[in-house]
Chains A and B, each alone.
Chain A
Amino acid sequence: MTERFIDSRSVQTEQFKISWLTTVLEDQRVLGYVLLIPAFLLIVVFIGYPFLLGVWMALTDKVVGTPGNFVGLANFTKLLDSDIFRVAAWNTVFFTVVATAIKAALGMWLAVLLNRKFMFSRATRAAVLLPFIVPTVLSTLVWLWMLDGTFSVFNWILRWFWDLEISAFGLVIKEDFGYIRGPNWLGDPYYAMGSIIMANVWRGLPFFAISFLAALQTVPSELYDAADIDGATGWKKFWHVTLPMIKPVAVVVVVFSFVITFADFQLVYILTRGGPNNSTHLLATLAYQQSMHTGNLGEGAACALFMLPLLLIVIILQLAYLRRQGVQ
């Protein structure tokens, strides 16, 4: 009897505990915060802490192996006075704007093509994603080989065209242009910038194409029927129906890609390391060089932080646009 009595008491306490926790968690205001904790911790540990550490380092003269002293905004003023930094900042803006514009235009074109029905269209859509799936480091190594000063496959093709025999109407034309070396893709400042833009476009295009394709597929076909009857031809349909319909998605994709491209590092680092003569240095590669190669962590952090205000403006503009769309 006694045993059973004790048993039932402990069961009661157990029940009391559970119901206490349940009551607290039943309250949606509490539960909401409880559910936020894991994500919040992840953000604090992996984003918040490194970010704040970066901000702190940017305000110190920390060199590898020393604690570093607070120097205020000295790192920033020093950077603004440095030629390399100004070149890198301009390069970053140029690289980002040109690469994003090309990706957006080609991505839209590709999406419109992929939106048509043709043989193996599903397989093609999947294949288009490949550059995006391959790890950047690996695919960039392939680019490095293709753009190599001596073994570039592009130059090999150019040479082949040069040596081509053209036979037509019974005449054989053999033009001799002499020996052509082809451009030094990564060794010439202008070609180097073109090369990193080309590789970046190749890598980023699938993201644009697939996102635009997804957006295109949400446009009701009846709208095109209506446009047909209203008298719109192909280009006008695209301009007056397709583009406005996918604009919200397009804006998000472009801004997102802008941010990613702005902070691009791997591609440039593998292809050119910022060279030749700093002509392809971006803020990200410069920051890396300053902190890792020079060991000047404070200056490197300051350099990386310069990206923040620019990107912030872009993101604020995007949010404002999305909010306006929501109101409409």
Chain B
Amino acid sequence: MAEILLKDLYKTYGETPAVRGIDLTIAENEFVVLVGPSGCGKTTTLRMIAGLEHITAGDIFIGDRLINDVPPRDRNIAMVFQNYALYPHMTVYENMSFGLRLRKVQKGEIDIRVKEAAEILNIEELLERRPKQLSGGQRQRVAMGRAIVRNPQAFLFDEPLSNLDAKLRVQMRTEIKRIHQRVKTTVVYVTHDQVEAMSLADRIVVMNNGIIEQVGPPQEMYDNPKTRFVAGFIGSPAMNFVPCKLTTNGDGLSIKLTDGVDLKVPGEREKRYRPHVDRDLILGIRPEHLTECRQHTNEQQQDFGCDVSVLEPMGIDTMVFMEIANVEVCARAAPDAVKNPGETMTFTIDMQKMHLIDPSTDTVL
């Protein structure tokens, strides 16, 4: 239950930089998710907070305390590991109480805390078992129990769900959220799964190449990505990126795709885009904003035709793949409205939801 402050944090392994200057404030009781592709520095950052990795440069504060040189055991944090890291020779009870026993907490107190955590996690009947006798999901719960009994200032999660099968992962996701609502504490959670990040986080931190690309609440990350990387990383299926040219069209502006498709830029964005007229840019549009031809609900929705190349039915929607300007583009259409591959289909694009990206800086304009 404390604020965590990262100040200009650096980590290099020999010559290889892993984390290249991170500034981040995590508020008390906030659930922050660090997300990014493998090798982006998210786990290294978490391990530096935990004290398992030496800091090359920068400062870390937990509460008001500078903890750069404080060993992990004195940082008052608990961590849940990807492979659970349960001690195989100890029972569940012993696993959960190990940290307390080392801290010489009274036996009665330990018992109360372990039972309480076991009750929260629904593992009361497993306390005498050994990790080998547990399923993946149960081990995950024990790992969380070990963290909860410590009653730490912050919980650190290192990809805790990546070893579980898809169904269990979704279940445990909800479980973690429920537990956080019950055990109010600061959480730093690392994952490479953007769905996990979206569904759990109060705030998402998208990392790439050792730096923070963008920080914000999930919905904001989805609606207003600041860089091409964030735009492509958040949302599933990923955003389409189509090369285009911004041109003037009478009074207004329009986006010309290389195929000759001409899309009108919404009036309120004209001022923002005006300086970039006649430049080669990239149009970013999410599949869900590119649908089968629908009745327009606002004037920014426009239609165009294209040949269907591949269909991927998902049940609720069908993903329609087509080729625009030599780029594969995915649209999300109602299953009964799709045409067969090879046939021409009319699509509606919602230009209010589009993004224009400057390819020279990869930032969203």
- The interface of chain A, by Cβ under 8 A from chain B, is 220, 222-223, 225-233, 236, 240-241, 244-245, 247, 328
Contacts and interface: CB of A to CB of B under 8 A. Distances in A.
Interface of B: 47, 50-52, 71-73, 77-79, 81-83, 85-89, 98-99, 102-103, 130, 132, 146
A233 B130 CA distance: 24
A231 B103 CA distance: 7
Contact of A226 (B51, B81, B130): B81
Nearest to B80: A226
A226 B79 contact: yes
A133 B185 CA distance: 58
Contacts of B83: 220, 222
Contact of A228 (B73, B89, B103, B132): B73
Contacts of B102: 230-232, 236
Contact of A231 (B50, B73, B85): B73
Contacts, number: 59
A241 B73 CA distance: 16
5 contacts: A225-B52, A228-B51, A232-B73, A232-B102, A241-B87
Contact of A220 (B50, B77, B85, B132): B85
Contacts of A233: 73
B51 A244 contact: no
B130 A328 contact: yes
A231 B130 contact: no
Contacts of B98: 227, 230, 232, 240
Contacts of A220: 83, 85
Given A231-B73, A236-B102, A226 B132 contact: no
Interface secondary structure of A, over-half rule: helix
Nearest to A226: B85
B79 A229 contact: yes
Contact of A229 (B50, B86, B88, B89): B50
Given A222-B82, A229-B73, A244-B89, 5 more contacts: A225-B85, A228-B52, A229-B77, A229-B79, A247-B89
B132 A328 contact: yes
Contact of A230 (B88, B89, B99, B132): B99
Contacts of A328: 130, 132
A248 to B, nearest CB: 10
A245 B88 contact: yes
Nearest to B132: A328
Contacts of A236: 102
A119 to B, nearest CB: 15
B88 A222 contact: no
Contacts of B78: 229
Contacts of B77: 229
A228 B78 CA distance: 10
Nearest to B78: A229
A222 B84 CA distance: 8
A219 to B, nearest CB: 10
A240 B90 CA distance: 9
Contacts of A231: 73, 99, 102-103
Contact of B89 (A225, A227, A245): A245
Contacts of A232: 73, 98, 102
